[in-house]
């Protein structure tokens, strides 16, 4: 089996501040979260060979907007790769101008025990204005075929409330690599792909239920050429249940 050469990493829907955060004192609060999902998809690509994932995170936030934390999930990249865990570390600053306008900037480090060649870092920025989100994640050390390379993930999203206390989240993203290595059946190589998600969430008895439709514009040949399998990039429905403390 062809080993993976690139990863669309991270599931940063990490919000450093929450109404459910545990107050530690006048300035600091702690947010703990745990989730179970039928698949771990990030930027459209399955990180678990379409199998379920158990995820947990902790974020320490300051009243100034500064925060830092860690997040982890099980992973399975197949192809004989030994890592079975992703551990992410992040730090940033959330500027809340109003209830409807905010800017989140920070640094994120992805690590993979037993497969450190896939470790990478990203700097990110997310602007939220009345439900519309514009985000970008830049990496100067993304794993490449023969060496590290630059990558840029950018997206536009929208969040709104529907009847019956249901929330709708939409996202359309572009994953762009410096070097083209997504090969089609004809042998042509692309350096980017698009992905999108439609997600519904509903809180029930203090637990958040989620249902997502996720897809990419990658062909089976392009998926195999980079991730080693033809079914980790295709359309799927992901169910999830999560709890924040």
CATH number of the domain where residue 39 is located:
2.40.160.40
pLDDT over 80 at 132, yes or no? yes
Domain range for 117:
22-244
Q: Is 10 part of a structural domain of the chain?
A: no
- On whether the pTM is more than 0.95, the answer is no
The mean per-residue pLDDT over the stretch 37-47 comes to 97
Query: Is position 14 within any domain?
Result: no
- Length, in residues, of the chain: 245
- The answer, yes or no, to whether residue 210 has pLDDT greater than 70, is yes
Residue 119 lies in a domain: yes
The DSSP bridge partners found for residue 213 are 198, 237
Beta partners for residue 227, in sequence order: none
As a whole number of angstroms, the distance between CA 134 and CA 154 comes to 8
Structural domain count of the chain: 1
pLDDT for 148 equals 73
Q: Does pLDDT of 15 surpass 70?
A: no
Which residue in 135, 137, 118, 116 sits closest to 126, CA to CA?
135
DSSP string, 94-136: EEESSSSEEEEEEEEEEE-TT-GGG-EEEEEEEEEETTEEEEE
Asked whether residue 6 is assigned to any structural domain, the reply reads: no
Does 2 reside within a domain?
no
Q: Which two tokens stand for residue 211?
A: 């249902």
Q: Do the domain assignments include residue 8?
A: no
**Does residue 112 form part of some domain?**
yes
With respect to residue 228, please indicate whether it lies within any of the assigned structural domains. Answer: yes
pLDDT digits (tens, 9 = 90+) for 81-126: 999 999 999 999 999 999 999 999 999 999 999 999 999 999 999 9
Non-local CB neighbours of 204 within 8 Å, separated by 6+ positions:
none
Determine the pLDDT at residue 149. Answer: 81
Residue 145 predicted with pLDDT over 60: no
Across the chain, mean pLDDT equals: 91
Model pLDDT for residues 152-202, shown as the tens digit of each residue: 999 999 999 999 999 999 999 999 998 888 988 888 889 999 999 999 999
């Amino acid at each position: 089996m062809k080993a993976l050469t690139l990863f669309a990493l991270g599931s940063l829907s990490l919000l450093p501040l929450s109404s459910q955060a545990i107050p530690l004192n006048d300035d600091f609060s702690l947010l703990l979260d745990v989730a179970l999902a039928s698949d771990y998809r990030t930027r459209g690509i399955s990180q678990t060979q379409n199998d379920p994932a158990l995820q947990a995170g902790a974020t320490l936030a300051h009243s100034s907007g500064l925060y830092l934390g860690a997040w982890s999930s099980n992973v399975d990249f197949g192809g004989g790769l030994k890592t079975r865990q992703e551990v992410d570390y992040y730090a940033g600053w959330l500027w809340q101008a109003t209830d409807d306008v905010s800017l989140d900037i920070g640094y994120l480090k992805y690590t993979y025990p037993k497969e450190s060649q896939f470790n990478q870092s990203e700097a990110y920025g997310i602007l939220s204005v009345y439900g519309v989100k514009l985000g970008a994640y830049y990496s100067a050390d993304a794993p490449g075929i023969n060496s590290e390379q630059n990558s840029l993930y950018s997206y536009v999203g929208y969040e709104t409330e529907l009847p019956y206390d249901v929330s709708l989240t939409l996202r359309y993203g572009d994953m762009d690599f410096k070097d083209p290595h997504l090969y089609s059946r004809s042998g042509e190589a692309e350096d980017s792909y698009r992905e999108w998600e439609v997600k519904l969430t509903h809180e029930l008895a203090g637990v958040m239920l989620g249902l997502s439709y996720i897809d990419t514009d990658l062909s089976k040949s392009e998926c195999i050429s980079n991730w080693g399998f033809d079914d980790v990039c295709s359309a799927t429905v992901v169910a999830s249940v999560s709890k924040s403390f």
